Structure 1
Amino acid sequence: MAICGKISVEFAIQIPTSKFFHILAKEFHNIQNICERVHGANLHEGDDWHCTDSVKHWTCHIDGKVITCKEKIEAMDEEKKSISYIIFDGDISQNYKLFKTNVQVTETNNECACVKWTIEFEKINEHVKTPYGYLEFYEKGTKEVNDHLLKA
């Protein structure tokens, strides 16, 4: 069984690339008010939710249980509409030595976009499950943001 791996999910949303990416890049603090599975989020370190120096503390519902973790933006490319996150501490550190998430938003036409979430991970041992529940969390959260923005 592989200890290191990379998994991803890709799907279409019905809002423009710029609208979805704006939520991630400029209004990430509002995710907890949009997504049902995000129970809470706060700025743990730093002054701004959207810079690489800041650390956020999250409480989320994943794989049927409430988990906590910290997250930091590793890199953001506004031109390519991609953000890389490092997820650490809390429940993540109990199972993974490395846990990185990348989101890439690409335009399909003026009204729709394609979102791809990728998780790169290293398990602490071969008995740890591959983090498919986290992909499901990102996919459902993205769809909730999509629905929220369609109503706005």
Structure 2
Amino acid sequence: MSLAGKLSTEIWVHATADKWFNLFSKQLHHVQNLTDRVHGTKLHHGHDWHHNETIKHWTCTIDGKVTTYHESIESIDEANKRITYKLFGEELEAKFKVFKAIFEAIDKDIIKWTIEYETTSEEVDPPFGFLEFVHKGSRDVDANLLKA
């Protein structure tokens, strides 16, 4: 039996909502330069970082270990400053049938990350480590966005 759920975190930030949304919708390749938690990212398939059919390969530190996964943009809602990413790859698919990360710039100084998931079995824990990764990584990114 699998378990489905959602985890979310709201983060007070100094950079504007527009700056955050612009980074994740038009300059995603810069994230690796704004936090040490992301070791590298590259295009796996496609030529445009922000096209729905493009697949990116990420290498990050999650739960204290180097983790790799693929990501593609499922949808971008410019009016609500919301982006839904689909995450997949061997490491994730061993534990999760569904894994989505949803970014929202919900106020001038608040961003929100929501993780939607469905585990492969009830023995798999919810992805608290990934939520911590996006939360702490967002803090790193915010500090660097202020410098830009």
TM-score between both structures, scaled by the size of structure 1: 0.93
Match of 1:141 in 2: 137
What's the CA shift string for 1:64-88, capped at 9, x where partnerless? Answer: 1111110000000112110000000
Q: Is the 8 A contact 1:43 1:57 kept in 2?
A: yes
What is the alpha-carbon distance in structure 2 between the residues aligned to residue 42 and residue 150 of structure 1? 25
Amino acid at match of 2:83: I
Deviation at residue 127 of structure 1 after TM alignment: 1.1
Measured on the aligned residues, the alpha-carbon RMSD in Å equals: 1.3
| C-alpha contact 2:2 2:120 (8 A) present in aligned 1 | no
C-alpha displacement at 1:144, in angstroms?
Answer: 1.1
Contact 2:2–2:121 under 8 Å retained in 1 = no
Identity of aligned residues (%): 43
- For structure 1, list consecutive stretches of 5 or more residues without a partner in the other structure: none
Residue matched to 1:3: 3
Matches of 2:138 and 2:90 in 1, distance apart? 23
2:54 — aligned with what? 54
CA offset digits 1:42-61 (Å, max 9, x no partner): 00111100111100011110
CA–CA distance in structure 1, aligned partners of residues 39 and 29 of structure 2:
12
Counterparts of 1:3-152 in structure 2 under 5 Å? 3-108=3-108, 113-152=109-148
Tell me the distance in 1 between the aligned counterparts of 2:137 and 2:48.
22
Secondary structure of residue in 1 paired with 2:94: helix
The alignment partner of 1:18 has SS state of helix
Please tell me the residue identity of whatever aligns with 2:75.
A
* One-letter identity of the residue aligned with 2:134: Y
Name the amino acid aligned to 2:145: L
**1:23 offset after TM fit, Å?**
0.8
Displacement of 1:9 in angstroms is 0.6
Gaps of 5+ in 2: none
Whole-Å separation in 2 of the counterparts to 1:33 and 1:149: 11
Q: Following TM superposition, by how much is the alpha carbon of 1:107 offset from its aligned partner in structure 2, in angstroms?
A: 2.4
The one-letter code sitting in structure 1 at the alignment partner of 2:136 is K
- CA contact 2:99–2:115 (8 Å) conserved in 1: yes
